[in-house]
A and B are shown apart, each in its own frame.
Chain A
Amino acid sequence: MSIPQTMLDKLWAAHEVVQREDGVSLLWVDRHLVHEGSHHAFAKIKERRLPVAEPDLTFAVVDHYAPTRGRSKIADPEISRMINTLRENAAENNIRLYDLDDPRQGIVHVVGPEEGLTLPGLLLNCGDSHTSTHGAFGALAFGIGATEVAHVLATQTVWQRKPKSMRITVEGALRPGVSAKDIALAWIAKLGTDGAQGHAVEYAGAAIRGLSMEGRMTLCNLSIEGGARFGLIAPDETTFAYIKDRRFAPKGAAWETACADWRGLSGDEGAAFDREVALDASEIAPTVTWGTSPEQALPITASLPEASDVPPAKAEAARAALEYMGLKAGQTLEGTVVDQVFIGSCTNGRIEDLRAAAQVLRGRKAKIPGLVSPGSAQVKAQAEAEGLDQIFTEAGLDWVASGCSMCVGMNGDLVGEGKRCASSTNRNFKGRQGRGARTHLMSPAMVAAAAITGTLTDVRKLLEGQI
């Protein structure tokens, strides 16, 4: 009998062109997504006079620098230049571009799945660490740097040593007000931001199977915040239902063949993982970060750690984080005054995220200003068809166009120095949302709760009508 294989084993074997003597594999890339930040890579291949090997497998999206307002006349010449450079590189190399005025434009990790470019069993690369998002479909998807992007452009392959395997099993059911974002922050808080370094994380268990594709994408997206370059979830009927009839998805007989192939991707029973971690979904509460690393996260009901609560190796980081965040050890998280909110990003900018936030905001007013940037133009259109935009604007929040926006601040959507932002994004790093900005990561529903009270708030109280 053959050795039982994990999904990672199967995906790896299916893409391995050659393996060198030192164990490093050359892998075939099925989809390559590029964005404005890929300019270094295009410059590299141009310098060597190399063409793009597979333009039909390469897709370009304007997202990192996409203005969320006033698109017809971009005021900042640097932003204009970045977007124009991508336009030129796409045109010169015959690459399909999702430009600012495209009704399908959006954040690369929202557009790929929406368009049916992301499929189970594919290997997908993008010069962006949140490429792990696409693993939610059972795809081998990982972020790469500019030199690797140039390599994929020139050869449609990538060199990579197979990572170790890790399984995070989440059994039980999530409680009301708790989402995929909270699962992610909970495991990262438990294992650390380098907890899964060198590993591909496969998520399994009843709570994972119960997640929508949007939730699965949120979870896989955040794998990199726990150090894992890859997140993976076995494809199932939820996956197939999401993909069916999407623009670039297989159709007709090819669809049937594809589904049959995809059903075989799940790991074999008894397949061994290098590392196993188990979580109980019912024990996960709405979770909020308090520091400057995603591992510095706690249930909203908790108090900020005293020096004695933190392991010695992490004590100095905790002290520095509290200082940067303008918080005091021992104070409760709940009630912390917030200056503004942001809902969006490749982590939580999908339709289900907007619905969850709108459910909390419906009929209520925000006490503080905020920005809602849908993950794509299609998400925006869908939300408007459902009237969600009305809920946000009537609450007093700004409803704007799609892009990476205030998650990374490259398009000018920034949080001011010393300002505190409740954010549905992925990184609370120092200065991530702007120099001196103080970011608290949380689910979109929790961001909506913070908008209403102007403080960090347990969304369950709003959902239960206590506030």
Chain B
Amino acid sequence: MAGWSTHRGRAVSLPQANIDTDQLIPARFMSVPRAQGYGPYLLHDLRRDEAGDLKADFPLNAHDATSVLVAGRNFGSGSSREAAVYALIDAGIRAVVAPSFGDIFAANAVNNGLLPAQIDEASCEMLADKLGGRSQDIVIDIGARSLLLGSIGAQFALDDSWALKLINGWDDIDLTRNHGVAIAAFKNIRHQTTAWAWPSGAD
């Protein structure tokens, strides 16, 4: 996965709280192999009518090349489905700006190069007001934890370890394998001191 530290793109406002992962991608699309792309399923039931056609008045449909969403609190709450992040990424989204995120969603996002930029309620509202139903240029700098939408600048919060991971595009499995000796030693000690932690009586 390629890392990134700055992004210039187009932002759109999705002024709703609690956009859960069931809404980000309804369960019925989750058997699709990743290689087929999850973009068409992003916010499927909000964006599309019963025939599957895009609703013209939905913010994300009204503008091309959107790469940043400005949303309400508790974005990505609910199910741990990483498919919600795949849908965002495959639809070209690089960052979501919101006052708060579901814990599992935020971790999944960072694991896929998607920035969960947490900003205070007041700033988020200001950005949403500025955007209204329009799409506008936005610049995001992970290192500086800052974003600029037109003349409005804002700071966002992001765990330092997550910033490093996003910037470097690090993969945890590679990092962890450097700790192979420590893991083996830990397992050995746990097995000696806490043998009951291994399943017993397996038949």
Q: Which positions in A face B, CB cutoff 8 Å?
A: 14, 17-18, 20, 22-24, 26, 28, 30-31, 37, 40, 43, 48, 50, 56-57, 65, 78-79, 81-82, 96, 116-117, 119, 121-122, 127-129, 143-148, 150-151, 154-157, 159, 161, 163, 192-194, 197-198, 224-225, 227, 229, 247-251, 254-255, 257-258, 261, 292-293, 313-314, 316-317, 320, 408-410, 427, 429-432, 435
Which among A129, A154, A258, A408 is the interface contact of B27 at CB below 8 angstroms?
A408
Rounded to whole angstroms, the CA-CA distance of A415 and B44 in the bound complex is 18
User: Are A30 and B200 in contact (CB-based, < 8 A)?
Assistant: no
Q: Mark B94-125, 1 if CB is under 8 A from A, else 0.
A: 00000011111101100110000000010000
On whether the beta carbons of A159 and B172 are closer than 8 Å, the reply is: yes
Q: Which residue of B lies closest to A247 (CB)?
A: B201
Q: Provided the pairs A145-B85, A151-B173, A431-B23 are in contact, do residues A121 and B197 lie with their beta carbons within 8 angstroms?
A: yes
B23 x A161 contact (CB < 8 A): no
Min CB distance B151 to A, Å, is 26
Number of B interface residues at 8 Å Cβ cutoff, please give it: 59
Can you give 29 contacting A-B residue pairs, CB < 8 Å?
Answer: A18-B179, A20-B161, A22-B161, A26-B182, A26-B183, A56-B199, A82-B31, A96-B202, A129-B104, A143-B80, A145-B81, A145-B104, A145-B107, A146-B83, A147-B82, A147-B108, A148-B111, A155-B173, A159-B176, A194-B100, A227-B103, A247-B201, A248-B202, A254-B196, A255-B196, A293-B20, A410-B28, A430-B23, A432-B22
Q: How far is the CA of A410 from the CA of B179 in the complex (A)?
A: 38
Interface check B74, CB cutoff 8 A: yes
Known: A248-B200, A408-B27, A431-B23. A154 touches B173 (CB 8 A): yes
Q: Which single residue of chain B is at the shortest CB-CB distance from A96?
A: B202
A409 touches B28 (CB 8 A): yes
B158 beta carbon closer than 8 Å to chain A: no
Is B179 touching A40 in the complex (CB atoms < 8 A)?
A: no
Nearest chain A CB to B193 CB, angstrom units: 9
Asked if B30 CB lies within 8 Å of chain A CBs, one says yes
- Within 65-109 of B, Cβ neighbours of A (below 8 Å) are at 73-74, 77-83, 85, 100-105, 107-108
If A18-B179, A161-B159 touch, whether A258 touches B196 (CB-CB below 8 Å) is: yes
- Central interface residue in B160, B200, B202, by most chain A CB within 10 Å: B200
- Contact string against A for B residues 152-168, beta-carbon threshold 8 Å, 1 for contact and 0 otherwise: 00000001110010000
CA distance A225 to B21 in the complex (A): 12
Cα distance, A322 to B110, chains bound together (Å): 34
Quick check: B74 and A261 within 8 Å, CB to CB? no
> In the complex, are the beta carbons of A429 and B23 less than 8 A apart?
yes
Known: A193-B74, A257-B196. 8 other contacts (CB 8 A): A26-B182, A145-B85, A151-B172, A154-B176, A227-B74, A229-B104, A249-B201, A410-B30
Known: A429-B78, A431-B23. A161 touches B161 (CB 8 A): yes
> What chain B residues lie within 8 Å of A144 (beta carbons)?
80, 104, 107
- Chain A residue contacts of B16, Cβ below 8 A: 316-317, 320
CB-CB under 8 A from A129, the residues of chain B are: 78-80, 104
Would you call A143 and B183 a contact (CB within 8 A)?
no
Partner among B81, B100, B160, B177 whose Cβ is within 8 Å of the Cβ of A197: B100
A141 to B82, CA, bound (A): 18
Residues of chain A within 8 A (CB-CB) of B111 are 145, 147-148
Tell me the complex Cα distance, A156–B173, Å: 11
B133 within 8 A of A: no
Contact A435 B26 (CB under 8 A): yes
User: What's the minimum C-beta distance from A392 to chain B, rounded to whole angstroms?
Assistant: 26
B190 at the interface (CB under 8 A from A): yes
In the complex, A156→B179 CA distance in Å?
12
Q: Are A157 and B176 in contact (CB under 8 A)?
A: yes
A-side contacts of B200, CB under 8 Å? 248-251, 254
Cβ contact within 8 Å between A251 and B201: yes
Measured between C-beta atoms, what is the minimum distance from B142 to chain A in Å? 15
